[in-house]
């Protein structure tokens, strides 16, 4: 791309939101350029998020099964061991194959790919400091901001990606820590905690709130926590980290009850900070062209993904809504469909979420707490996997299905599943979830 090339669409960011938007735009006949600073496509999800974490969750689960379940199924080994470099290499191979695959899709669909850091000069021009060291200006009738999110840091805790790691460092440790402390009991912390617990770490999760995964249905959450505790993960809820001492070999954390009180010390070899993610717009020059952000740093958009500045749109983790890859992708498709004069559509009541621990926990629609808050009359249907023959047959029967339906009409309001393959099962529930309950 050069200054003289005028695009119909310029996408800043090549993550699930941005690369999907770019490919879809090109398929709809729009001349499209995508700018990505990382040097690889796929964004957080492919490079340091969903994909590497799912790779390690699978590998560590296989090891755990071999250690703890195979013998009871009559499969015996003389010894089982972890080869961490091989496990990491398998993860890296999955990542690099997939990111190269997207580059192939860009070529096939004629999306121009500019590698570099984009910043707005005007609402229709982006200056890019390229990875090779040059600068180019990319022009577009429409510009889509798909710059995603970044790890949220905690005051007083500096991430060095060695002893104090973010999810990125936790995906690339070169030895199994004896003691791992996870700060923050969201799904990322619990998934990464599970990986290392299975590989032999003593894992303690410290959480400021009274509960793990705040967005989860309360009843499911309780069962989920018990399940993780059976897997030897320890939880310190209503607890805050008030000090970090790095003077020794490991890390000494000073903890205090969330409400204040007596301090205690918790030692760790590695500390994972997973206290959430924050929209990433650093260096983008939003203030220069007047794009508004809210107090959480997100870019508010209307139902067509338009920001307050004409011709500038935003999708994915950088706008309000669940920070999930499939949601970012759907935003991307709908946004460019609107730009191509078609009808984009995303039903935000039906965005499933999955925690890929074992068992997995998946949900779509409303939690029981949310249904209560709406004041709608509802009924609950529950069935334990302990009474499911297939689950019993494979000796993997921990979990439950919980369905919330409007009392009068039986319209499904929310489905929550804890089960080994909940992540697959939830799709069917998403299809069955009603568009709008009649009485809401
Ligand atoms: P991103 O993926 O963050 O992509 C934004 C891209 O923009 C980045 O590559 C960045 O380098 C680039 N960029 C930013 N600024 C500029 C600029 N100025 N110029 C050029 N390029 C720029 N979601 C799920 O749905 N399922 C999961 O199982 C899951 N697991 C996760 C596990 C972990 C450990 C993490 C961290 C996240 C996980 N997520 C998961 C969340 C998922 O990764 C995000 O929701 C998703 O990546 C958001 O997509 P996005 O395109 O909005 O942003």
Q: For 355-372, how does the pLDDT look when each residue is reduced to its tens digit (9 = 90+)?
A: 999 999 999 999 999 999
Q: Which residues of the chain have pLDDT under 50?
A: 1-4, 437-440
Complex ipTM more than 0.95, yes or no: yes
Please, what sign has the CA dihedral across residues 200, 204, 209, 211?
A: positive
CB 95 within 8 A of CB 46: yes
> Within 10 A of 220 (CB to CB), how many other CB atoms are there?
24
- Cβ–ligand 1 distance for 13 under 6 Å, the answer yes
- pLDDT confidence of residue 435: 67
Question: What is the distance in A from the centroid of ligand 1 to the CA of 377?
Answer: 38
Question: What is the distance in A from the centroid of ligand 1 to the CA of 250?
Answer: 30
Pull the structure tokens for residue 78.
């003389």
Residues near 176 by Cβ (< 8 Å), separated by ≥ 6? Answer: 82, 84, 196, 199, 200, 201
Gyration radius of the chain over CA positions: 23
326 is in an annotated binding site: yes
Return the closest-CA partner of residue 123 out of 1, 12, 289, 308: 289
- Cβ–ligand 1 distance for 38 under 6 Å, the answer yes
248 is in an annotated binding site: no
Return the closest-CA partner of residue 61 out of 186, 197, 165: 197
- pLDDT confidence of residue 135: 97
Separation CA 21–CA 367 (nearest Å) = 31
- pLDDT confidence of residue 440: 43
Question: What is the distance in A from the centroid of ligand 1 to the CA of 326?
Answer: 11
Q: Measured between alpha carbons, how far is residue 105 from residues 20, 246, 337 in Å?
A: 10, 46, 19
Pull the structure tokens for residue 203.
């894992």
Q: Measured between alpha carbons, how far is residue 149 from residues 48, 162, 254, 315 in Å?
A: 12, 21, 29, 11
């Amino acid at each position: 791309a050069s200054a003289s090339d005028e695009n119909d669409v310029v996408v800043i960011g090549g993550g699930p939101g941005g690369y999907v938007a770019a490919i879809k735009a090109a398929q709809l006949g729009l001349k499209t350029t995508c700018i990505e600073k990382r040097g690889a496509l796929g964004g957080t999800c492919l490079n340091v998020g969903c994909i590497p974490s799912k790779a390690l969750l699978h590998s560590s689960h296989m090891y755990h099964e071999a250690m703890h379940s195979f013998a009871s199924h009559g499969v015996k080994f003389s010894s089982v061991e972890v080869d961490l470099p091989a496990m990491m290499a398998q993860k890296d191979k999955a990542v690099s194959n997939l990111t190269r695959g997207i580059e192939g899709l860009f070529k096939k669909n004629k999306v121009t790919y500019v590698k570099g850091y984009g910043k707005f000069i005007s609402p229709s021009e982006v200056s890019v400091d390229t990875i090779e060291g040059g600068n180019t200006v990319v022009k577009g009738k429409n510009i889509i901001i798909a710059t995603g999110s970044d790890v949220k840091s905690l005051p007083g805790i500096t991430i060095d990606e060695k002893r104090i790691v973010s999810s990125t460092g936790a995906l690339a440790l070169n030895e199994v820590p004896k003691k791992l402390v996870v700060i923050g009991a969201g799904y990322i912390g619990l998934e990464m905690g599970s990986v290392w617990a299975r590989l032999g770490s003593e894992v303690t999760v410290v959480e400021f709130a009274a509960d793990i995964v705040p967005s989860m249905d309360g009843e499911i959450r309780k069962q989920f926590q018990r399940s993780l505790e059976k897997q030897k993960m320890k939880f310190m809820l209503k607890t805050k980290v008030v000090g970090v001492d790095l003077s020794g070999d490991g890390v000494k954390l000073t903890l205090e009850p969330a409400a204040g009180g007596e301090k205690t010390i918790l030692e760790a070899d590695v500390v994972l900070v997973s206290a959430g993610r924050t929209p990433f717009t650093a260096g983008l020059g939003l203030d220069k062209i007047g794009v508004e952000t809210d107090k959480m740093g997100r870019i508010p958009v209307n139902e067509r993904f338009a920001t307050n500045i004409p011709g500038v749109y935003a999708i994915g983790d950088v706008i309000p809504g669940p920070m999930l890859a499939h949601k970012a992708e759907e935003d991307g498709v709908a946004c460019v469909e609107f730009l191509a004069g078609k009808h984009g559509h995303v039903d935000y009541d039906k965005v499933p979420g999955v925690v890929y621990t074992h068992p997995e926990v998946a949900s779509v629609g409303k939690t029981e707490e949310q249904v209560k808050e709406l004041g709608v009359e509802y009924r609950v249907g529950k069935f334990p996997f302990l009474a499911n023959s297939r689950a019993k047959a494979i000796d993997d029967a921990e979990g439950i299905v919980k369905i919330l339906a409007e009392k009068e009409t039986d319209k499904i309001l929310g489905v929550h599943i804890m089960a080994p393959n909940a992540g697959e099962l939830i799709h069917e529930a998403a299809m069955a979830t009603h568009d709008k309950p009649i009485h809401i």
